[in-house]
């Protein structure tokens, strides 16, 4: 393939991504009719919460760059950080949280970078996690993370600061979680009723805690309501989900270790 052919092919792929985003944002269907790409882009931009990028929280350089797949994720996995439910709500606190998680994942776990794609603090601050995550979401791609063992190829992970076995997440965190999930569903064409899951749906763990896990049906409903408020109808993706992508609902261990930033299996044998 010549360089010009490759350039044209790349432009075509980029345009298909733009058209998918437009369809998702506007609820449109490309059947001979034109979609107002500017208006659709504005709708999607309006759905995105304030997300602080890696530069904002002064992330370390990863040991290696994240793998980016052209196939988008089909599940949004909710986690908790298994850390204390402190009173810190500031942006600076949130940035220190991201730094601490990255240090733990890289230095203690030996991973290439922070594991999850997104982190939400108890103050409701949303931060980019693994390198290239924000760019991938914007381009209908998927950064492979390290948060749900043997399912990182098709899931995007959100770490919720705190421990929620019995405690209820603060309103600021829950509001940000709804907004973040609505944005991801819109960006990727995902049905919140099917796409939003808990870590324990795939791996033997108590994560994201009994309390938060029990709130997931309400989260799915709130995300759908958020999309309605945004006047955004989903253009759901075609095609069935492979059986290996479906939750297996393994049994929760009775004596699970719950140390800070350790909340169950996060990587498989070939993941980091």
Query: Cα 52 to chain center, whole Å?
Result: 14
In a shared domain, residues 13 and 67: no
**pLDDT, the chain, mean:** 85
**Model pLDDT, residue 169:** 98
In a shared domain, residues 241 and 199: yes
Q: What is the CATH number of the domain that holds 122?
A: 3.40.80.10
In a shared domain, residues 19 and 130: no
Residue 260 within a domain = no
Buried b (16+ CB within 10 A) or exposed e, 120-156: bbbbbbbbbbbbbbbebbebbbbbbbbbbbebbbbbb
Confidence of residue 269 (pLDDT cuts 50, 70, 90): low
In a shared domain, residues 219 and 104: yes
Residue 203 within a domain = yes
- Between the alpha carbon of residue 82 and those of residues 111, 163, 267, the distances in Å are 19, 5, 17
C-alpha 27/C-alpha 157 separation (Å) is 26
User: Each residue of 72-86: pLDDT tens digit?
Assistant: 999 999 999 999 999
C-alpha 12/C-alpha 23 separation (Å) is 16
Exposed/middle/buried for 198, CB within 10 Å: 0-12, 13-18, 19+? buried
Instruction: Please determine, for residue 30, whether its predicted confidence score (pLDDT) is greater than 70.
Output: no
Residue 238 within a domain = yes
Greater model confidence, 260 or 20: 260
C-alpha 39/C-alpha 41 separation (Å) is 5
Confidence of residue 8 (pLDDT cuts 50, 70, 90): very low
Residue 265 within a domain = no
In a shared domain, residues 218 and 135: yes
Confidence of residue 260 (pLDDT cuts 50, 70, 90): confident
Give the CA diameter of the chain: 60
Instruction: Please determine, for residue 19, whether its predicted confidence score (pLDDT) is greater than 60.
Output: no
In a shared domain, residues 43 and 76: no
pTM of the model: 0.84
Residue 268 within a domain = no
Q: Which domain holds residue 102?
A: 49-245
User: Each residue of 117-132: pLDDT tens digit?
Assistant: 999 999 999 999 999 9
Percent of the chain past pLDDT 70, that is, above it, reads: 81
Show Cβ contacts of residue 168 under 8 Å, excluding neighbours closer than 6 positions: 211, 215
DSSP 53: -
User: Each residue of 169-225: pLDDT tens digit?
Assistant: 999 999 999 999 999 999 999 999 999 999 999 999 999 999 999 999 999 999 999
Confidence of residue 261 (pLDDT cuts 50, 70, 90): confident
Residue 251 within a domain = no
Number of domains in the chain: 2
Residue 24 within a domain = yes
In a shared domain, residues 27 and 70: no
In a shared domain, residues 185 and 238: yes
In a shared domain, residues 223 and 98: yes
Locate 72 and state its tokens.
Answer: 């988008």
Residue 157 within a domain = yes
Single residue among 32, 47, 62 that ends a domain in this structure: 47
By DSSP bridging, strand 68-69 and strand 142-143 are antiparallel
In a shared domain, residues 185 and 202: yes
Confidence of residue 39 (pLDDT cuts 50, 70, 90): low
Q: 83-87, 95-99, 251-255 — which is least confidently predicted?
A: 251-255
In a shared domain, residues 165 and 77: yes
In a shared domain, residues 32 and 149: no
């Amino acid at each position: 393939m010549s360089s010009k052919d490759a350039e044209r092919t790349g432009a075509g792929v980029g345009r298909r991504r733009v058209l998918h985003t437009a369809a998702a944002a506007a609820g449109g269907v490309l059947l001979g009719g034109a979609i107002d790409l500017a208006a659709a882009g504005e709708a999607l931009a309006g759905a995105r919460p304030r997300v602080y990028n890696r530069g904002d929280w002064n992330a370390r350089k990863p040991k290696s760059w994240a793998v980016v797949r052209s196939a988008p994720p089909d599940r949004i996995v909710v986690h908790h950080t298994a850390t204390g439910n402190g009173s810190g709500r500031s942006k600076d606190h949130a940035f220190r949280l991201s730094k601490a998680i990255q240090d733990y994942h890289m230095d203690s776990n030996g991973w290439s970078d922070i594991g999850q794609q997104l982190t939400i603090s108890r103050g409701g601050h949303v931060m980019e996690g693994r390198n290239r995550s924000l760019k991938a979401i914007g381009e209908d791609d998927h950064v492979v993370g390290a948060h749900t063992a043997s399912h990182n190829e098709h899931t995007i992970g959100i770490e919720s600061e705190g421990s929620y076995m019995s405690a209820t997440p603060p309103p600021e965190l829950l509001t940000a979680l709804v907004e973040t999930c609505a944005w991801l569903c819109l960006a990727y064409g995902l049905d919140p009723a099917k796409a939003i899951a808990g870590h324990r749906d795939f791996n033997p763990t108590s994560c994201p805690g009994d309390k938060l896990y029990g709130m997931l049906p309400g989260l799915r409903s709130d995300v759908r309501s958020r999309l309605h408020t945004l006047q955004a109808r989903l253009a759901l993706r075609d095609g069935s989900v492979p059986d290996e992508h479906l939750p297996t609902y393994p049994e929760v261990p009775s004596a699970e270790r719950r140390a800070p930033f350790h909340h169950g299996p996060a990587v498989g044998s070939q993941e980091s």
